[in-house]
Amino acid sequence: MADVSKICAIACDGAGFKLKCTVSEYLKGLGFEIIDCGTDSEESCDYPDYAVKCCREIVEKRAGFGILCCGTGVGMSIAANKVKGIRAACCSDTFSAKATRAHNDANVLCIGERVVGAGLAKELVNAFISTSFEGGRHQRRINKVMEIENY
């Protein structure tokens, strides 16, 4: 069985296509395997369709984490968080990218092509993938968040 921690599912809508390509190449250069869940152009499309494809790879344990790109990162974040087992965070600064892994055990990073340039996107991805969940007092809170899925 493959080490899923080195496998990233990635998806975008048309507004996030260029950023998805940049992030995919960056992760490949770091030795990660990429599961590309689409889309494959800058044409307008429905971001929830691609968010679900990406998140399915994570909840079915074919990928260890995911990255979703759209214009702002917000739409993808909203859609991803509807999938049971997903904790997605839209980040545009490295502190948040680290904190969401350390404190929220986020498994999906959402970034916006219209908000974040290629250089900062790489920094966000690096912060996200290099930070581990701290557990401890944060685990109790994550358990409560995950219980919300049962309402």
User: In the chain, what are the domains?
Assistant: 4-150 (3.40.1400.10)
* Percent of the chain whose predicted confidence (pLDDT) is above 90: 97
In whole angstroms, give the CA distance from residue 80 to residue 9. Answer: 12
More confident call, 2 vs 74: 74
Which residues is 110 bridged to in the sheet?
68, 90
Specify the pLDDT at position 11: 98
In whole angstroms, give the CA distance from residue 11 to residue 7. Answer: 13
Q: Is the pLDDT of residue 145 over 70?
A: yes
Task: Give the sign of the dihedral formed by CA 60, CA 74, CA 117, CA 69.
Answer: positive
Q: Which residues are catalytic?
A: 70, 103
pLDDT in tens, 86-113: 999 999 999 999 999 999 999 999 999 9
pLDDT in tens, 33-80: 999 999 999 999 999 999 999 999 999 999 999 999 999 999 999 999
Q: Is the pLDDT of residue 2 over 90?
A: no
- The count of C-alpha atoms lying within 13 angstroms of the C-alpha of 5, restricted to the half-sphere facing its C-beta, is 5
Specify the pLDDT at position 3: 87
Specify the pLDDT at position 1: 58
